[in-house]
Chains A and B, each alone.
Chain A
Amino acid sequence: MARVILVFNKKVIKEYPFTKENLTIGRNEENDIVIDNLAVSGLHARIDKSGGTYILTDLQSTNGTFVNDKAITSHRLQHKDKIAVGKHLLFFAMSQEEQAKAKEAELDRTMILDTAQHKELLEKQAKEKGMEVSAQKERLGVISFIDGSSQGEIKLTKKLTKIGKADTSEVRLGGMFMPPTAATISRRPNGYAITATGGRTKIKVNNETITDSRFLNDFDTIEIGSHKFQFYSQESEEEK
């Protein structure tokens, strides 16, 4: 079993065995480890046991939580870590068995949390920060023609939308010099980006000619030859 040893002025005040899933540290009486000192916040920090590891989290305390003299927000505790809360010190000690296990865990640290577990953990953290958790929705890009053509709006549902004269294009554009594919719009990890594919048709985004790729922002105006349309994104039905 792990232990937390509270020390003040080089004297051991008390030892706290880790008998539950978490230990809270703070000035209020309700805490597991009560430190009656003005430098310590009411609810200052918490240590959570998760599997074989112990995670210390500073609960946005006024004066901060330090591990081995470094300020932390969240820290995985190791044997003999020195936690400083105000002028009080807390030493973290693991049993020999736990130390051996921790060493093993260190060597194979990648682990997987199932969907329910990780959603629960995120919701808990969000609540602590006073945030509402709503299902995050993907944004779906839309192009809206503003050149008086009858194309109207086209949703960019494909990962790669081809724009040009070819029959296989998702967005078909006419014109004497229009190549089979004049440009593509791709849905990338960082958002939608337009890429000129090297034909002779000029491609402009907000009046600037592009020859390479460029990320699109809402209401950017795109011109391809004589065609003109606007890009914007809307909330998609699909959940992330």
Chain B
Amino acid sequence: MVKLQASGLSDTGRQRDSNEDSFAIDNALGLYIVADGMGGHSAGEVASKVAVQIIQRNITNWINKEVNEDELFDFPDDTLGRMGNYILSSIKLANRVIYEMSKEYNEYKGMGTTIGVLAVMPNAVISANVGDSRIYLFRGRAIEPLSKEHNMVSEQLEMGLISKEEAKNSPLRHILTRNLGSLETVNVDVFEIEPKNKDRFLLCTDGLTDLVSDEEILEMVYQGDDPERICQQLIDEANERGGHDNTTVSLVVIDNLGDKKPGGIFSRFVHRFMGKK
């Protein structure tokens, strides 16, 4: 069994009246979700909540029933394993539901949300995202993105139109090129990596990354071992710097991956000798 520690916190910040972010934590499944809603009145809040619920419920249901990839919401992606397809399909389903809701009801017109989903399992870590909510891996005291940013600025950067420095202050920072809810279908970026003992992961909304740099996040993530305290410190930092937006953070720490892989033909004997299973 993988031993995981995780915490999640969401904060309205200092300037807004309501919190349109949502998140979910399920340590039993190793499933973590954050969403940053957008849209007037309370529609943003509805979009992010609906997305988180649909994704969590469907993945849980599919895992319990061991549903075949071919029976999911959309065609399976053969570059992914089964869990990767569960996540991909649940996000596409959430997109469709939010899209239909916004078409059907006037008060939900134009609503949408970003999404970040992370699954930590003994043999794979899967990350998936749409929009500008991010997922980071911390391994060997280094920070690495496990998500893609779907906004104008990242596309300008990739095309070489602007420099990194210009990107930081660009007025186009908050213009997304993808989200859940605005189109009937959505492209999702999904990544799969091999987990390592002591890996840490952070899911967060742009309330944090607008104000705190990657290097600063890296430093703060290794200040202690209690995920809840680290989450609180990250939120406090965003608020101290103005807290202009809602901020949601979720930190996951792999305490122990367990003995999942025997190392060659002798390992069974070694493990028996050492009194391990």
Contact = CB atoms under 8 A, between A and B. Distances in A.
Contact of A111 (B160, B170, B176, B194): B176
Contacts of A178: 264
A10 interface: no
A160 to B, nearest CB: 4
B193 A160 contact: yes
Interface in B126-175: 132, 139-140, 144-148, 152, 155-156, 158-162, 166, 170-172, 174-175
B81 interface: yes
A112 B152 contact: no
Interface stretch (B4-12, B26-34, B177-185, B247-255): B177-185
Contact of B264 (A118, A131, A199): A199
A213 B162 CA distance: 30
Contacts of A115: 177
B46 to A, nearest CB: 14
A212 interface: yes
Contact of B194 (A74, A180, A187, A197): A197
Given A112-B176, A160-B192, A201-B264, 15 more contacts: A74-B170, A74-B172, A107-B15, A112-B178, A112-B179, A113-B175, A122-B156, A122-B159, A125-B156, A159-B79, A177-B264, A186-B192, A197-B261, A199-B263, A200-B267
A108 to B, nearest CB: 7
A184 B194 contact: yes
Interface string A127-146: 00101010010000000000
Contact of B263 (A73, A198, A212): A198
A110 B146 contact: no
A110 B38 contact: yes
A229 to B, nearest CB: 18
A55 B79 CA distance: 41
B161 A125 contact: yes
B190 interface: yes
Contact of A75 (B44, B171, B177, B196): B171
B171 A55 contact: yes
A202 to B, nearest CB: 12
Interface of B: 15-16, 36, 38-40, 44, 78-81, 84, 112, 123-124, 132, 139-140, 144-148, 152, 155-156, 158-162, 166, 170-172, 174-179, 182-183, 189-194, 196, 206, 261-267
Contacts of B144: 188, 190
Interface string A202-217: 0000000000110000
Nearest to B147: A189
Contacts of B139: 212-213
A126 interface: yes
Interface string A156-180: 0111100000000000000011111
Contacts of A14: none
Nearest to A201: B264
A213 B40 CA distance: 44
Contact of A195 (B84, B177, B194, B266): B194
A83 B152 CA distance: 25
Contact of A179 (B160, B177, B263): B263
Given A110-B176, A212-B139, A189 B145 contact: yes
Taking each of A76, A110, A160, which has the highest tally of chain B beta carbons within 10 Å of its own beta carbon? A110
A109 interface: yes
Given A73-B166, A109-B174, A126-B159, A121 B152 contact: yes
30 contacts: A73-B166, A108-B38, A108-B40, A111-B38, A112-B112, A112-B179, A113-B152, A113-B175, A113-B176, A126-B161, A136-B158, A159-B190, A159-B191, A160-B81, A179-B262, A180-B262, A181-B261, A186-B192, A186-B193, A187-B191, A188-B191, A188-B193, A189-B146, A189-B189, A193-B193, A199-B263, A199-B264, A212-B196, A213-B140, A213-B196
